[in-house]
A and B are shown apart, each in its own frame.
Chain A
Amino acid sequence: MSKPNKARLFSPKDFVADFIRISGALPGVIWLRPRIRYTSDKAKKRIRGGALVVANHTSFVDPGYLMFVIWYRRHRFVCHQAFMETKAGPFFRAAGCCIPIDADNFSINSFRQITDSLTAGNLVTLFPEGHVGDGGKLQEFKTGAALISMQSKRPIVPVYVKPREHWYSRLEAVVDEPVDLTALCEGRPAFSKINDITRRLREREEYMEGLLSGK
């Protein structure tokens, strides 16, 4: 695992992103009252260095929720290019907290931007479902997360965020232990291996969903 960035909670380089994070923290904590569970003691350990957080996508405010779940790190979110073209786009571009990708024509440069960010020791967060789920149900996962993790040789941290039923509901989330795919990076893995890892990632998400719903 790479060394964490020297910039801690606040960095002049990421002034806008940190300002949003810090000024939004108190009202966020009061409103969301986050309740975070961990699947094991290993999962409780703070994430150091580059890591790829994969989470289910239940609403458009999921990035905000994830900032409360893993609050001690600065996130870089992988988002649709179309989002960056909305009115909010320039704001998030200035904040430098988004890595836009064109889902219809995924460019190799976007892929490199993600892997470079990970190898530089950043925390990159993506939603492998690719879009907001139907009524909070888990959708099929795209295989990109496994490929990114293998190529950057950085672990995957699965996170499950429970869809909130009411505006006053508490934010509930489960954090799983990091999955290190380094052992599989020897040589080039076959498509079947990447598909298998993706399937297992989704199973972990289902397991975490079960933990919160008491199944």
Chain B
Amino acid sequence: MQMTRNEILEKLKEILLSADEAAGDSIHLVTERTGLQSDLGLSSVNMLYMIIATEEVFGIRFDEVGTNDFKTVGDVVSYIEGKL
């Protein structure tokens, strides 16, 4: 499955939106430079949730990664891009 970075980003936004509807406005403004913990305030459990959901949506499997390995949304996009 070939996807552009922008398509991956949009799908990630959908995942985040379904997880946290209350943060809808801030998620719509998410760019690749948005910090996962610093800007979106995701906890380590939220990050795990996002990884699990990403695996399901993109049909990929994350290798040995920790919740601190991704600092920005762009890091996740790059990882997914490398796996697709």
Contact = CB atoms under 8 A, between A and B. Distances in A.
The answer to whether A and B assemble together is yes
Interface of A: 102-109, 111, 142-144, 147, 151, 188, 190-192, 194
B25 interface: no
Contacts, number: 55
Contacts of B43: 143
B69 A105 contact: yes
A144 B21 CA distance: 20
Give the interface centre of B22, B48, B62, B68 by most chain A CB atoms within 10 Å. B48
Give the interface centre of B47, B64, B65, B67 by most chain A CB atoms within 10 Å. B67
A55 B32 CA distance: 39
Nearest to A102: B66
A147 B47 CA distance: 11
A109 B51 CA distance: 11
Interface in B40-81: 43-49, 51-53, 56, 62, 64-69
A188 B45 contact: no
B18 interface: yes
Given A106-B44, A108-B65, 8 more contacts: A108-B51, A108-B64, A151-B52, A188-B19, A188-B53, A190-B18, A192-B21, A192-B22
A104 B68 contact: yes
Contact of A190 (B20, B65, B67): B20
A107 B45 CA distance: 10
Given A105-B67, A107-B64, A108-B64, A147 B18 contact: no
A191 B43 CA distance: 10
A102 B48 CA distance: 13
A172 to B, nearest CB: 31
Contacts of B19: 188, 190-191
Contacts of A191: 19-20, 46, 49
Contacts of A190: 18-21
A108 B67 CA distance: 8
